[in-house]
Amino acid sequence: MMKQTMHKGTLQNGIRVMTIPMPRVETVTVYFFVCTGSHHEEKEMSGISHYLEHLFFKGSEKYKTPIEISSTLDGVGAAFNAFTSEEWTAFYVKLLKDKIEVALDVMGDFLKHPLFTDSEIEREKAVILEELNMYYDTPSRRVMDVLQEALYGDQPAGRDIGGIPETVKNITRENVVDYFQKQYRGENIIAVFAGNITHEASMELANQYFGGVSDGTAAIVKDPVQPPATHSPIVRIQEKTTDQTHIALGFPSYAMGDSRRYALRVLLTVLGGGMSSRLFHQVREQRGLCYAIGAGAEMGSDYGFSYIRSGIAKGKTEEAIEVIVRVMQDMKDEGITEQELANAKNNIEGHLYLGLEHTDGVAEFWGMQEVIVGTTQSPGEYIDALKSVSLQDTQEVANDVFLKGKTHIALVAAQHSDESLLGSLSQLE
């Protein structure tokens, strides 16, 4: 099995530099994490982290226009993109090892000398509004936003990462510059290098291109996520004409630093982690109620929730939820089998290492741990912890998480009755 070693250093301005050497590949991925996201935003500024992410490739002192930036990176065969999450904003460039300084020059110039021109800010506003419309028109994705509203209510954890049209329309250049100056500071930034590069080279290059980034800590510290205030199920429905009823069941679970996350991951893999999972077998194969169904978990620094998501045949919503609930209750009553436990562990291990064959997957694996919990596990350490999970561990997690009072329902569909949906949970204790 592959072994990975991570090296870590810090620049004088506080930027953390992580290097995972992969000498047998010809590429390097540079991932730049800024520890700020939607959970750091005031309600009236909802979406500003995502807005700033869009502006990253829109112009800097040296690369003044989007076409200059994209032409420079395209001209060396780079793959590049950016993402915004609840607790971080990330930018990455993946390219041949001997072209790395091209990427670093582009990234460093934005971090030190962004232009934030009025014209680009206004033009990108229209782009972001269309992105929001695209997500609103994608019910399989939108249902997860509705679920988080049900789980967390009127706090950052219950709001869309991209904001809403009303807040996005009101964001000004002054807002963007202020947020950038407060959050894009040295001690709030992590640079991850993964690929054919040494740590010594990473430190030298990071200092050369990022050493001029403003030092200091972030001015905005996120408020702790408040757990759901209710101990009764909540139903949240977004009415929309669709060919399926898109459902998501969600229940609070564990943060990324919680040791129970390994047992939870095993449990969710057995529940809805693939074509051999219990939900796939019962809901699709046995009854033909859906095409796709799965279970998973979202984990942050101080919150976590698990979910089951599917697109259900019209008129079959309550039946499908009743089947899902029976499967969950069976896992509480009977537990999972030794074979399911072993298969789930092998499944998780296999998918982990498949993702770690590529430099971008490696950079993301290590960087996200540093961002969210501030400490890291190697792939081997993660798998060792996973393999230590027992049947009793999964049983305890099932009894803790699969509770009627903690299970909330989100729908994107035509009108439904809250009462009938809540009645579908009756078999869950």
Kindly give the pairing relationship between strand 189-195 and strand 16-21: parallel
pLDDT in tens, the chain (429 residues): 568 899 999 999 999 999 999 999 999 999 999 999 999 999 999 999 999 999 999 999 999 999 999 999 999 999 999 999 999 999 999 999 999 999 999 999 999 999 999 999 999 999 999 999 999 999 999 999 999 999 999 999 999 999 999 999 999 999 999 999 999 999 999 999 999 999 999 999 999 999 999 999 999 999 999 987 667 899 999 999 999 999 999 999 999 999 999 999 999 999 999 999 999 999 999 999 999 999 999 999 999 999 999 999 989 999 999 999 999 999 999 999 999 999 999 999 999 999 999 999 999 999 999 999 999 999 999 999 999 999 999 999 999 999 999 999 999 998 777 788 888 888 888
CB 282 within 8 A of CB 321: no
Distance CA 246, CA 294 (A): 12
Q: Are 397 and 264 in contact (CB under 8 A)?
A: yes
CATH class of this structure's domain 7-210: alpha beta
Global pTM? 0.95
Q: What is the pLDDT of residue 422?
A: 84
Residues carrying an active site annotation: 53
What is the helix (H) or strand (E) element at residue 30, kind and residue range? strand 27-34
* Number of helical (H) and strand (E) elements in the chain, helices listed first: 16, 11
Looking at residue 30, what is its pLDDT? 98
- What pLDDT is stored for residue 1 in this prediction? 59
Q: What is the DSSP letter of 283?
A: I
Q: Do domains 7-210 and 235-423 have the same CATH topology?
A: yes
Determine the Cα–Cα distance for residues 398 and 407; give it in Å rounded to an integer: 13
Q: 326-344 burial by CB neighbour count: b if 16+ within 10 A, else e?
A: ebbbebbeebbeeebbebb
By the 10 Å C-beta count (0-12 exposed, 13-18 middle, 19+ buried), 405 is classed as: middle
Residue 306 φ/ψ, nearest 5 degrees: -110, 155
């101080």: which residue's tokens? 302
Quote the pLDDT of residue 230: 67
Angstrom distance (rounded) from CA 92 to CA 77: 14
Q: Which CATH class is domain 235-423?
A: alpha beta
Length of the chain: 429
Domain boundary assignment for the chain:
7-210, 235-423
List Cα–Cα distances, 63 to 25, 121, 174, 191, 429, in angstroms: 29, 16, 21, 21, 59
Dump the DSSP string for 122-166.
HHHHHHHHHHHHHHHT-HHHHHHHHHHHHHH-SSGGGS-TT--HH
CA gap 232, 332 in Å, rounded = 19
**Dist CA 6 CA 347 (whole Å):** 25
Task: Taking each helix axis as running N to C, give the angle between helix 338-355 and helix 391-401, from 0 to 180 degrees, rounded to the nearest 10.
Answer: 90
pLDDT attached to residue 415: 76
Predicted local confidence at residue 350, as pLDDT: 98
